[in-house]
Amino acid sequence: MTTHSEDHYYVPHGSHWPVVGSVGLLFLMVGVSSWLNGAGAGFYIMLTGVAVLVFMITGWFAEVIRESQKGLYNDQVDKSFRQGMFWFIFSEVMFFAAFFGALFYARNMSVPWLGGDSNNFFTNLLLWEGYESTWPTDGPGGIGGEYEAMGPFGLPLINTALLLTSSITVTIAHHALLAGKRMRLSIFLAATFVLGFIFVYMQGVEYVEAYQHYNLKLTTGIYGSTFFMLTGFHGMHVTIGAIMLTIIFFRVLKGHFSPDHHFAFEAVAWYWHFVDVVWVGLYVFVYWM
């Protein structure tokens, strides 16, 4: 393709990566499912799927990066990528919204109802007598046994500071990129992903703490469920974000990105801010309130 004129759209030639990706997904999903059903082989099928997917993602992105470096993408393509990323992040927001929704529903509806609120006087009287609605709770059945809740101070507060700082460093890096200050760019980018990985590590420490000392588990009723699912999915996103930042970092070292052409950098930065905003929501509603 020899198209780099402003009123000429760039349409890529066929690509085998999507189909490879679908095969990867097939293995992954079939693998996880059979594993969950107790078939030992499932685990290996799943690993195969993951391997294929990693292969696909690296291959696909490498191709895109190559094309981008060759200057095949005009402004319009760049815009498409940006908008695509934006709406992808929006869909992620909605995914988290489902879990936040579950949290709000539990706190404001189901738990009070089990305690006899609203039109549920008899729910409490006949089925859960003596249960008083509180938050956090492991439910009237006391699923998971005695536990201690995770307070807002200590680790979570440190983690908040880490993530907020990393949001600032990535912004500084962005400004450095725009100003063409490569050294500053790499330093602050490195700082960002290092902070990200520290966050993930701390989160791990927190989980170990919760399981070993607080007896707070995924199985600790609705509190444990919402706590671990929200922080867990968030942690997963931080991990992915930090890995992407690392890749961007190496691309910076290789001299990629120019002040007016750095979609990948910006996409990852947006993603990072998204992860950050979700954390703020988490901190407020899961740890604090």
Partner 1 sequence: MSSTVADALDHEHDDHGPTKGIGRWLFSTNHKDIGTMYLIFSLTMFFIGGAMAMVIRSELAVPGLQFVHPEFFNSMTTMHALIMVFGAVMPAFVGLANWMIPLMIGAPDMALPRMNNWSFWILPVAFGILLSTLLMPGGAPASGWTMYPPLVLQTGDAFPFLIFSVHLMGISSIMGAINVIVTIINMRAPDMSLLKMPMFVWMWLITAYLLIAVMPVLAGAVTMLLTDQFFGTSFFLAAGGGDPVMFQHIFWFFGHPEVYIMILPAFGVVSEIIPTFSRKKLFGHDSMVYAGSSIAFLSFIVWAHHMFTVGMPLTGQMFFMFATMLIAVPTGVKVFNWVATMWRGAMTFETPMLFSLGFVFLFTIGGFSGLMLAIAPADIQYHDTYFVVAHFHYVLVPGSVFAIMAGAYYWLPKWTGHMYNETLGKAHFWLSTIFVNLTFFPMHFLGLAGMPRRIPDYSTQFADFNTIASIGAFGFGLSQLIFVWIVVTAWRGEKATDRVWEGSHGLEWTVPSPAPWHTFTTPPKARIAQEAFE
Partner 2 sequence: MIRKSFLSLMGLLATGAAQADWALNMPRGVTELSAETYDLHMMVFWWCVAIGIVVFGVMIISLIKHRKSKGATPATFTHSMTAEIVWTAIPVVILLIMAVPAAETMVKLEDSRDPDISIVVTAYQWKWHYKYQDEDIAFYSSLARPSMDARRKQSGVDPNAVDNYLLDVDRPVVVPKGAKVRLLLTSNDVVHSWWVPDLAIKKDAVPGIVNETWFRAEETGTYRGQCAELCGKDHGYMPIVVEVVEPDAYQAWVDTRKNGDVAVANAAK
Q: Which residues bind partner 2 (CB under 8 A)?
A: 113-114, 119-120, 122-123, 125-127
Please return the burial class of 210, using the count of CB atoms within 10 Å of its CB with bins 0-12, 13-18 and 19+.
Answer: buried
Measured torsion, CA atoms of residues 107, 112, 118, 124, in degrees rounded to the nearest 10? 150
The HSE-up count of residue 133 (CA atoms within 13 Å, CB side) is 17
Residue closer to partner 2 by CB (options 199, 223) is: 223
Residue closer to partner 1 by CB (options 30, 198) is: 30
- Contact flags string 1-40 toward partner 1, x per CB under 8 A: xx----xxx-xxxxxxxxx-xx--xx--xx-xx--xx---
For 65, 142, 208, 251, the CA distances from 58, given in Å and listed in that order, are 10, 46, 32, 13
Question: Do residues 154 and 205 make contact, with C-beta atoms less than 8 angstroms apart?
Answer: no
Q: How far apart are CA 272 and CA 265, in angstroms?
A: 11
Taking the complex as a whole, how short is the minimal distance between the CB of residue 61 and partner 1, in angstroms?
Answer: 11
Q: How far apart are CA 63 and CA 40, in angstroms?
A: 36
Residue closer to partner 1 by CB (options 58, 76) is: 76
Residues numbered 192 to 251 that lie near partner 1 (CB under 8 A) are: 217-219, 221-226, 228-229
Q: Which option in partner 1, partner 2, none does residue 92 bind, with CB closer than 5 to 8 A by kind? A: partner 1
**Which tokens in the block code for residue 55?**
């292969």
Residue closer to partner 1 by CB (options 146, 255) is: 146
Return the bridge partners of 261, or none. Answer: 258
Taking the complex as a whole, how short is the minimal distance between the CB of residue 128 and partner 2, in angstroms?
Answer: 8
Q: Which of 55, 57, 61, 88 binds partner 1 (CB under 8 A)?
A: 88
Residue closer to partner 2 by CB (options 26, 127) is: 127
**Which tokens in the block code for residue 158?**
């440190």
Residue closer to partner 1 by CB (options 42, 164) is: 42
Taking the complex as a whole, how short is the minimal distance between the CB of residue 178 and partner 1, in angstroms?
Answer: 23
Q: Which option in partner 1, partner 2, none does residue 126 bind, with CB closer than 5 to 8 A by kind? A: partner 2
Residues numbered 113 to 172 that lie near partner 1 (CB under 8 A) are: 113-114, 118-119, 127-128, 137-141, 143-144
Taking the complex as a whole, how short is the minimal distance between the CB of residue 95 and partner 1, in angstroms?
Answer: 4
105 binding partner 1? (CB under 8 A) = yes
Hey, how many other C-beta atoms are within 10 angstroms of the C-beta on 102? 16
Question: Do residues 170 and 269 make contact, with C-beta atoms less than 8 angstroms apart?
Answer: yes
Element holding 223 (H helix, E strand): helix 221-253
